[in-house]
Chain A
Amino acid sequence: MRKKTASLYGLVAEFKDPDDILRAAKRAHEAGYRRMDAYTPFPVHGLDEAIAFEDNRVPWTIFLCGLLGAAGGYLLQYYVSVLDFPINSGGRPYHSWPAFIPVTFECTILLASFGAFFGMLAYNGLPKPYHPVFNAPRFELASQDRFFLCIEAADPKFDREETERFLESLNPQLVSAVEE
């Protein structure tokens, strides 16, 4: 009797309610499972805490990109107006820093937004045409009105029969095995 098949990705349990999946995720975490994920049609508050997931890279990326934008925007104007081609327009100083503020601000926002959008996609690994969990039966409901909890076979505590029994005990609609 093998503990896990070579091509098994994990076991998936389908729930009807966000409260159910939240409870299930907490129980799974308490039971010691760490490699798991939940798939829901909308964000469920508390679910990422329940599966003990935290990622602060997106806000930091946004901040750094914002700084880059600010610095870049300001230095661009400084270089152009003070160093490369200074023009005396109406006696205004070459380094007219108040006038440089709007463009600096816009560049900050622009780059920070790129950081948010592309950073979010990159850290999420998107676009990702294929993910093993799409093989779960009825998984198209994950974007409609069902909530899926997947415990990955890569988890150290994973055991084909044990984990299946554990998932059944959470009262899901369905428990199924998912291939890679």
Chain B
Amino acid sequence: MQTEHSTQPLVTAAHRNGWREQFIEGDHTDETIGNKISNVVLAQKHPMAWFIAFGIGFLLLNILMVALGWLVIRGTGIWGINVPVGWGFAIINFVWWIGIGHAGTLISAILLLLRQRWRNSINRFAEAMTLFAVMCAGIFPLFHTGRPWVAYWLFPYPSVMGVWPQFRSPLVWDVFAVSTYITVSALFWFMGLIPDFATLRDRTRNRAAQVIFGILGMGWNGSAKHWQRYETAYLVLAGLSTPLVLSVHSIVSLDFAVSQIPGWHATIFPPYFVAGAVYAGFAMVLTLAIPVRAWYGMKDFITMRHIDWCAKIMLATGLVVFYAYIFEVFYAWYSGDKYEWFMIHNRMTGPYAVYYWMLIACNGVIPQILWWNKARHNLVVVFLISLVVSLGMWLERFVIIPVSLHRDFLPSSWGMYYPTFWDWMTYLGTFGLFTFMMFLFIRFVPMINIFEMKVLLREQEGGDHHDQGDGHRADGHAPVSAEVAGEHV
């Protein structure tokens, strides 16, 4: 019966070509997978590394509270922004953090749509990273308004003053884009968690934990009917998140691109920023995943293959970004516009030239090391390069924003931008918020999607069954597999 075919795990290209991608290493069963991941949350003892990291995060979070408190008391004058650079660290850090968030959505949503099963072990972690990165990002537009207590004016509501937001402005588009992004990411993340909360509810012996996980699990019982609706909703959410992530960073880039400033007014900005966001995001995923998989013994689930492929994506997006840097120079020259050309000249030789060249080194040159197989399989190299890329992406926003603003059309308007102590403290503080939330997540929530790993395990084992029969046929098309499977069942 042809319906036998539907019982088989997804027949991927790997299966058809006769070789199996090994995404889970070691000898695992549903039980060992469940144990390993749940025990991080349910265990009595936690690694010392967690306490240290959480402690550091907490400390920096307190710095953030002080920095924001002082900002509210004294105003944005404590920052380095002034004429002509009216937009400094706040916007740089906002774009940096939002960019980092995009890799999470790419891994969860886009890789799901592309049926890349290797995402299953890193997607929850990456989505959590997205949520916390967007939280950190949101602090900046909120507080840089100068009067954050009236931030609700950014939203369209019938106000007593009779005024509305200006819908022709990318700054208002940003409000909608970022709000939608954080909401949809949170929903997507939480939806993925419901069956895992049910798993934890059923495993724990602690009564309080049972109640909490029970509430969060919504009474999930694994019903096939529920799974059907769940899978549909999950797939559609992934399909919605994909254009969402592309649109969010495009809108963020339009904050700059709709202006007339040389260095900003370029149509390459939306794809350039989106590629840059994925670049920065994967760098952060690697920065976090490499230590965490070692501390928590998750090497069977986040394998060297995952590290290798994340490094490759980083390399690919890095090349797109490098292309954009080269073409910015080309546009400036080809346009014949003296202001555009001066902008490039200023970037390369002006007062901030060292940052431009550091940017080229960090984002363009150093990551080319990842072309070498051995480099991608060396955890120290990949970790260091991920830090270099994070720095490079921050420098990119620095080069785009203050360096273009400080010398635009009229020399009498030229000035310099110097970040202040409070600029740095606020930025440092957001690392605290991020680390704090990330380690809370690691402590209380399964960091790897348990049920998706079980699905992956089955698909791998299903591959075993294929190999026994005609699995090594180069053209193994579905009906053959179905017959083999039919005999097996």
Contacts and interface: CB of A to CB of B under 8 A. Distances in A.
B199 A113 contact: no
Interface string A81-113: 100110101001000100110110111011011
A158 interface: no
B168 A96 contact: yes
B202 A39 contact: no
A139 B179 CA distance: 40
A47 to B, nearest CB: 5
A25 B223 CA distance: 13
- Interface range, B side: 35 or more
Interface string B197-216: 01101110000000000110
Nearest to B29: A145
A39 B166 contact: no
Contact of B195 (A92, A143, A145): A143
Contacts of B243: 105, 109
Interface in B213-233: 214-215, 218-233
B48 to A, nearest CB: 30
A45 interface: yes
Contact of B191 (A85, A117, A129, A134): A117
Nearest to A136: B221
Q: Which of B29, B177, B180 has the most CB of A within 10 A?
A: B180
B232 A59 contact: yes
A143 B6 contact: no
Contacts of B198: 143
A122 to B, nearest CB: 10
Interface stretch (B314-322, B354-362, B408-416, B451-459): B451-459
Given A48-B225, A131-B219, A143-B202, A120 B230 contact: yes
Contacts of A44: 224, 227
B341 to A, nearest CB: 27
B222 A109 contact: no
Q: Which of A41, A80, A84, A139 has the most CB of B within 10 A?
A: A41
Contact of B202 (A107, A113, A140): A140
Nearest to B227: A43
A144 interface: yes
A126 B218 contact: yes
A57 B236 CA distance: 13
Contact of B203 (A113, A139, A144): A144
Contacts of A43: 224, 227-228, 230-231, 451, 455
A110 B223 contact: no
Contact of A109 (B180, B202, B251): B180
A41 B222 contact: yes
Interface of A: 18-19, 22-23, 25-26, 37-49, 51, 53-55, 57-59, 62, 73, 76-77, 80-81, 84-85, 87, 89, 92, 96, 99-100, 102-103, 105-107, 109-110, 112-114, 116-117, 119-121, 123-124, 126-131, 133-134, 139-145, 148
